[in-house]
Structure 1
Amino acid sequence: MTHTVYVKLDEITELTHKDILLKDVAQVYCRDQNIQNKCSVCRIMTVRSDEAHRYVMSALDVTKKLEALDPGLEVEHMGKTDFIIAYKPAAPPAYGRQWCKTACICLISFFGAAFAIMTFNNDVSVTSVFHEIYRLVMGYEAAGFTVLEASYCVGLSLGIMVFFNHISAGKVNTDPTPLEVEMRLYEENISKTLIDNAQRKEKKIDIS
């Protein structure tokens, strides 16, 4: 009797154990629960190295493993045709190092953004524009900083928080933040590059 097994592979999965089972990298479904359980624990590869590495596999590799497990299976792939296993040896969490990295990133982002804003304001002469607007509205020159500069600072801060869709631990709405979108695009580009490089390995590529 033929059983159809549906497999939905994740594009990239980070694991710390060396024996990689199908359930670690994919969702598996079969009408027969026993067949589903047997396929879920099918070992698709064993990591031989003790160092962190990313391995690229394809849906064909999974199909071969499942058919070897049970020749009566019919495998239907619903997700990615190529996927990545990111093996990372298990290690105790280094909280001090993580906090230091987070602090460095926060400082770089803060001062980098502040420098970018200051250079932009200086380039377009925001101060001169505010003084000119104040003179046109009030009829006389401003003696120093005005309400325009204060409003600009407050509005800029609020605008950044609203744009990045983060206020404290909550969100302004249910949309993904621009940072989340960019991180997802970065992750997809990394995965695509790894898969393409693996497919081109030991092949002659004509780029002319």
Structure 2
Amino acid sequence: MPSTQHNAVYLRLKKRIYIKPGESVRLHQAARLLADPEQEAPLRQLLLYEHRKADGNRVVLDLLQIVKRIREAVPELTIEAYGDPQVLVMIADEPAKPRMAVLIAAWLLLFFGAGLAIMNFHTDVSMKEVHMRIAELVTGKKTSHPLWFQIPYSLGIGLGMMIFFNHLFRRKFNEEPNPLEVELYMYQENVNAYVIADEMRKKSDNGDVGG
């Protein structure tokens, strides 16, 4: 018969949480936890951190800190931790809202930049001459503007980009993540990893990693 641990708590730390300046972080905010009901209720409200102005706008809570607080509160408890070993606490009055002027400027820059990149590529590979030659091979007549071929080709570029990025305005064609979403996810993961490593290095320099 398998043995059960009634005096155990199972933790999975969250990657990133947000609080306002001066607020505190309790265990249920920093981690998902599972324990016996009579133990879980007080553990959820266990105080892990209180923000001070000197701490800045980001703080890293290490798993060892959290285990230490839990053991101080309930010494006999067995702690089983899974997932990430740190949780990043971001402190801000309100989540940053996108500024429309910057968004429009970035959209215009990307739109015209992408258009110029495609035009320069077509010039480099002599795409106009290629189209003229294909049209001549198909029709047997030489023309400097084979629009019947160039217009569908141009529309095909746009359609191909929509299919590639799996997006048309706010609508997705299927539930698979598109390459841009994957890149944004990887960027955010790398930022989180760097911030956590930087904050842990500062704590190590100050000699308070476990504090």
For the structure 1 residues 48 and 70, does the alpha-carbon distance in structure 2 shift closer, same or farther, using more than 3 Å as the test? same
For residues 26-37 of structure 1, the aligned pairs below 5 Å read 26-30=31-35, 32-37=36-41
d(CA) in 1 for partners of 2:37 and 2:123?
67
d(CA) in 2 for partners of 1:2 and 1:121?
69
d(CA) in 2 for partners of 1:147 and 1:190?
48
For the structure 1 residues 90 and 134, does the alpha-carbon distance in structure 2 shift closer, same or farther, using more than 3 Å as the test? closer
Alpha-carbon shift at residue 2 of structure 1 (Å) = 6.3
Contact 2:135 2:146 survives alignment (8 Å): no
SS in 1 for 2:34: strand
Contact 1:58 1:83 survives alignment (8 Å): yes
Among candidates 35, 43, 48, match of residue 44 of structure 1: 48
Correspondence for 2:208: none
Alignment of 1:67 onto 2:82:
no
d(CA) in 2 for partners of 1:120 and 1:16?
49
For the structure 1 residues 171 and 84, does the alpha-carbon distance in structure 2 shift closer, same or farther, using more than 3 Å as the test? same
d(CA) in 1 for partners of 2:129 and 2:102?
39
Correspondence for 1:111: 112
The count of aligned residue pairs is 199
Contact 1:21 1:42 survives alignment (8 Å): yes
**In percent, how many aligned pairs have the same letter?**
28
Read off the aligned partner of 2:193 and give its amino acid letter.
K
Which TM-score applies when normalising by structure 1? 0.86
Correspondence for 1:139: 140
SS in 2 for 1:63: helix
Alpha-carbon shift at residue 145 of structure 1 (Å) = 4.1
For the structure 1 residues 51 and 140, does the alpha-carbon distance in structure 2 shift closer, same or farther, using more than 3 Å as the test? farther
Alpha-carbon shift at residue 198 of structure 1 (Å) = 2.9
Unaligned runs of 5+ in 2: 206-211
Alignment of 1:19 onto 2:24:
yes
For the structure 1 residues 170 and 33, does the alpha-carbon distance in structure 2 shift closer, same or farther, using more than 3 Å as the test? same
Alignment of 1:78 onto 2:91:
no
Contact 1:2 1:74 survives alignment (8 Å): no
d(CA) in 2 for partners of 1:105 and 1:23?
39
SS in 1 for 2:89: strand
For the structure 1 residues 24 and 147, does the alpha-carbon distance in structure 2 shift closer, same or farther, using more than 3 Å as the test? same
For the structure 1 residues 196 and 149, does the alpha-carbon distance in structure 2 shift closer, same or farther, using more than 3 Å as the test? same
Unaligned runs of 5+ in 1: 204-208
Which TM-score applies when normalising by structure 2? 0.85
For the structure 1 residues 2 and 138, does the alpha-carbon distance in structure 2 shift closer, same or farther, using more than 3 Å as the test? closer
